[in-house]
Chain A
Amino acid sequence: AQSVSQHNHHVILSEAASLELGCNYSYGGTVNLFWYVQYPGQHLQLLLKYFSGDPLVKGIKGFEAEFIKSKFSFNLRKPSVQWSDTAEYFCAVISYNTDKLIFGTGTRLQVFP
């Protein structure tokens, strides 16, 4: 069955530190990849997406992610985090076969000033 793994459950950083959140998926066919963010008290928002083309995709608020097909990975990065990045981050995958959006368990990021 298709699955998504997020290795970091809880990450604590100081402002200006660099961020990398891991995401691996199990499906071997054609996929679309997403990162969603849920700020405290707010609903899920799309951070960035990969459909095809350049495997390095840029999203909102300075986030980027790199799709590495050979590693089945789609890691999220940000060079310098801010306190306002404190949120829960979800990686999600939708395959062309199933059309079901499958989410990882999420990573809770806390950024301290």
Chain B
Amino acid sequence: GQQLNQSPQSMFIQEGEDVSMNCTSSSIFNTWLWYKQDPGEGPVLLIALYKAGELTSNGRLTAQFGITRKDSFLNISASIPSDVGIYFCAGPQRNYGGATNKLIFGTGTLLAVQP
């Protein structure tokens, strides 16, 4: 079945550093979603990508839809302590009829930022 592999599993960085994480799959996705989950809260949508090669920014966050449609990248520039959390990628699950209304989630990247 479809799977999303996220890496790295965890990152421990100093405040001010840039961060890069990625999500890969053996299957093609038509949409990539990036969420952030703060401790004890629900995931919040950060960026949605809908087109191969698309590069989209949201403040210090930049995400890219890989040209092969099998991967996506999320970069955070000049990290701050409130960037701490778990970052998930997600994409629509596909069946023989095409994209469904169910999402597949990556296993998450845990980010810790040292002030």
Please say whether chains A and B are actual partners in one complex: no
Chain B interface residues toward A at CB < 8 A: none
Chain A interface residues toward B at CB < 8 A: none
